[in-house]
Structure 1
Amino acid sequence: MTDPRSSLPQLGQWQGPEELLQLQEKQLAQTVTWATRSPFYSGRLNPAALPTTAADLAGLPLTTKQDLRDNYPFGMLAVPKERLDTYHESSGTAGRPTPSYYTAEDWVDLAERFARKWIGMSAEDVFLVRTPYALLLTGHLAQAAGRLCGATVVPGDNRSLAMPYARVVRVMHDLGVTLTWSVATECLIWAAAATAAGHRPGTDFPALRALFVGGEPLTEHRRRRISRIWGVPVIEEYGSTETGSLAGECPNGRMHLWADRALFEVYDPRTGAVSAEGDGQLVVTPLFREAMPLLRYNLEDNVSVSYDDCGCGWNLPTVRVFGRSAFGYQVGGATINQHRLEEIVFTLPETYGVLFWRAKAEPAALRIQIEVDEEHTAAAQAELTALVRAAFGVDVEVVGLPPGTLVPHEALTNMPDVVKPRSLFGPDEDWGKALLYY
């Protein structure tokens, strides 16, 4: 039986930007043809002058998130519904949902892209998937990639009452989990939950060999802290429900765009200019997406793209992802964004024990709360106050809180029952939960 991945580009099949562009444009004509079958693009494309090169493509208007919402649910569909394999919606949308759908053939590309981890995935791995499954792509994507590589997948959805943090720790420990997939914040909460259960995160989970993270901006300081706590590499992934995986880390720790599977541009919303590299919003044209082709889709994520050489030899552009949080909030005359503030928080000495924090940007001052060990409270407050003032030049109030304030101990240790629906209750039971089980 032919491996369905054999028709997809593989790392090492091109040398340099010129050959990569040829690879992209070889597939672009097929991508555009698929797009003409979509009600949305059939009204936007001129059949007599379809784009065949990246330069031609740049002449088309951007596809926006609002376009997807306006065409909910199937206005972007380019295949018969009978061919669809899955339907998804992205998180955090206001008003109409942002729909996304894939065929079984689309899923081969999706899974293979996610599986491009430099540390490798194999049948020897026990892979804990700790991201949402409901409607979002993320959990299903990781599960498909794990199964593609033969790994044992543990579906630990992080939006399910059936998988509290205490159970996550038990599963990681007892099953010998080797790989995990989650947002980076989860890794810190697991560490706290493991400690609450009497485990040492860096010692009592010997099978663990890497933590895959994505879904939120991650600073280098926080990544290093997570890695030191668990004693394994933290490997970042970038993508979206609308597109699947778009970038992954190489062995040198740099994020590379999967430019053999998608065509990327950088858009400056202030000037309207578009370029192949630089700073701006990421625009993507997936090249192997048949069910729902996207031409010049603006993800609205703030990025920095470069074609500088990297010693990994992948010959792919590198990307730094800042997310939409890069816009920040105004405090006094400064703009405060989460990425920079997180960087500062995690420069505090590790001996202070600061893992969890929150901040509120008010017009006149920035308020920050941190969980910190009692003996280090005064020092942590003073140091963080000085660091933030130096970085932003704003008034700041830092308050140290006892551990367990922002992330309560009971959230780390509770193991609630998974209730099934009932209609019949005994005389001393609460029948207020009839039918509505939770």
Structure 2
Amino acid sequence: MNSILPQLGDWGGIQELLEGQEKQLARSLSWAARSPFYARRFGPGPLPSGSADLADLALTTKQDLRDNYPFGLLSVEKERLATYHESSGTAGHPTPSYYTAEDWTDLAERFARKHVGITPSDTLLVRTPYALLLTGHLAHAAARLNGATVVPGDNRSLATPCSRIVRALHDLEVTLTWSMPTECLLWAAGARAAGYEPGADFPALRALFVGGEPLSGPRRARISRLWGVPVVEEYGSTETGTLAGECPEGRLHLWADRARFEVFDPDTGNCSPQGTGQLVVTTLYREAMPLVRYNLEDTVEVSCQECPCGWHLPTVTVLGRSAFGYEVGDRTVTQHRLEELVYGLPDADEVLFWRARAEPDRLRVQIEAAPGRAEGAAARLTDVLRTRLGVAAAVEALPPGGLLPTELLRAMPDVVKPRSLFGPHEDWDKALLYQ
């Protein structure tokens, strides 16, 4: 399959891109028909073979994937599978996903499409979970494909607390990182707790790769100023791999040369190539588990207007849950808008962490602020919330450590292998435990 994977820049424009996409679509639909799920969905008669046939097919949902757990969407012999994955399971039921070795070439190449590049001279710290999720393995594979050194930092693991990550960033001269945006703020606080300054004491660092949660412009800019390097965003899922990456102009582009995208309007039931709605994906180069009109249920805004970067690919703004909010008085407050205002405070206030609660008559907000600036920061945010959002607000500014205790940033948990034999003065309540 490697020889047929299109490379960035193969297409001269959107129309040429769509024509190339159409040629591969028939092949992908034939792969999908080999799975029990799509064999039933396509039914008897001629198989769908192009875009004109897709409009008559029902959307594939996350529930479809769960209902066909574990191998109802398998389109190849099990012997050809390279990896099996599941999403984070927030709904309580596993959402399966699997890939062949050839599928992995496509996955790794898409992730590596970073405008800052990944090279053999780079050291990439992977700070997303490995486990059953795709994300850690994906960055690992992309880095190795390009010859880079990988530091498998993992996440949600007692073995790699924040203090250990900060040490690795500094001592191993890490040049690139992959994490959720929030992690970059945690590292900054952890670095200061360890006596380092994020923007000065990590000179090897040249970019922060982020994804996995909506990111407002002001928070992105705040992270970039903290560390003194670009913040490079991407978008995807465990079920699909990377779907969009950032160009030099700072815009996310859908990899429409590797997948077909539609925007679904849940109010009308209609799909279109661009606009605002839920993102629908049809894979083009995935053989183990092709997805046909898979609804990610993420709210996005897609545009086919040309971008100054020269990438002839649609752009996407990922709204996610940021499109939804809570009522405060007669106004709706969203996390995305609130985040913009919080991180719009002056850098000197040193506000990295915050939380808020929407109540019927007011918005309660807590922030951490620098000593000596807490009162002013609270007043500034209160005024901004009143004038920009039109809501009454009660803002409390806490000292550093008020929301994220400093001891957690410095902690190094005792992680041990299971044991059953202890000495006379040892704590044998640790028997069979990992900590």
Residue 28 (structure 2) aligns with? 31
State the one-letter code of the partner of 1:120: G
- Equivalent positions of 1:62-211 (< 5 A) are 62-211=59-208
- Equivalent positions of 1:310-329 (< 5 A) are 310-329=307-326
**1:25–1:52: 8 Å Cα contact kept in structure 2?**
no
Tell me which of 424, 427, 432 is aligned to 2:424: 427
Say whether 1:48 aligns with 2:40. Answer: no
Query: TM-score with structure 1 length normalisation?
Result: 0.97
Say whether 1:59 aligns with 2:56. Answer: yes
Matched position secondary structure for 2:282:
strand
Q: Deviations over 1:266-311 (max 9, x none)?
A: 1111221211001111111111111111101111111110011112
Q: Deviations over 1:229-253 (max 9, x none)?
A: 1111000010000000000001111
Q: Measure, in 1, the Cα distance between the counterparts of 2:43 and 2:36.
A: 13
State the one-letter code of the partner of 2:372: E
State the one-letter code of the partner of 2:25: L
| Number of corresponding residues | 435
What fraction of aligned residue pairs are identical, expressed as a percent? 70
Tell me which of 375, 391, 400 is aligned to 1:394: 391
Tell me which of 282, 296, 300 is aligned to 1:303: 300
**1:300–1:324: 8 Å Cα contact kept in structure 2?**
no
Tell me which of 349, 359, 363 is aligned to 2:360: 363
Q: Measure, in 1, the Cα distance between the counterparts of 2:81 and 2:321.
A: 31
Q: Deviations over 1:94-134 (max 9, x none)?
A: 23211111111110000000000011111100010000001
Residue 292 (structure 1) aligns with? 289
Q: Measure, in 2, the Cα distance between the counterparts of 1:181 and 1:313.
A: 26
Say whether 1:240 aligns with 2:207. Answer: no
**1:139–1:157: 8 Å Cα contact kept in structure 2?**
yes
What RMSD, in angstroms, separates the aligned Cα atoms of the two structures?
1.3
Which segment drifts farther, 130-139 or 392-401? 392-401
State the one-letter code of the partner of 1:221: P
Q: Measure, in 2, the Cα distance between the counterparts of 1:315 and 1:285.
A: 19
**1:72–1:96: 8 Å Cα contact kept in structure 2?**
no
Q: Deviations over 1:109-167 (max 9, x none)?
A: 00000000011111100010000001110000000000000000000001111111111
Residue 400 (structure 2) aligns with? 403
Q: Measure, in 2, the Cα distance between the counterparts of 1:153 and 1:59.
A: 45
State the one-letter code of the partner of 2:216: T
Q: Measure, in 1, the Cα distance between the counterparts of 2:413 and 2:347.
A: 33
Unaligned runs of 5+ in 2: none
Shift of 1:73: 1.2
Q: Measure, in 2, the Cα distance between the counterparts of 1:6 and 1:132.
A: 31
- Equivalent positions of 1:260-279 (< 5 A) are 260-279=257-276
Matched position secondary structure for 1:374:
coil
Shift of 1:257: 0.2
Shift of 1:79: 1.3
Q: Deviations over 1:69-94 (max 9, x none)?
A: 11111111111212111111111432
State the one-letter code of the partner of 1:366: L
Matched position secondary structure for 1:43:
helix
**2:280–2:296: 8 Å Cα contact kept in structure 1?**
yes
**2:60–2:294: 8 Å Cα contact kept in structure 1?**
yes
Q: Measure, in 2, the Cα distance between the counterparts of 1:42 and 1:98.
A: 20
Shift of 1:312: 1.3
Q: Measure, in 2, the Cα distance between the counterparts of 1:299 and 1:331.
A: 29
Query: TM-score with structure 2 length normalisation?
Result: 0.97
State the one-letter code of the partner of 1:170: R
Residue 4 (structure 2) aligns with? 7
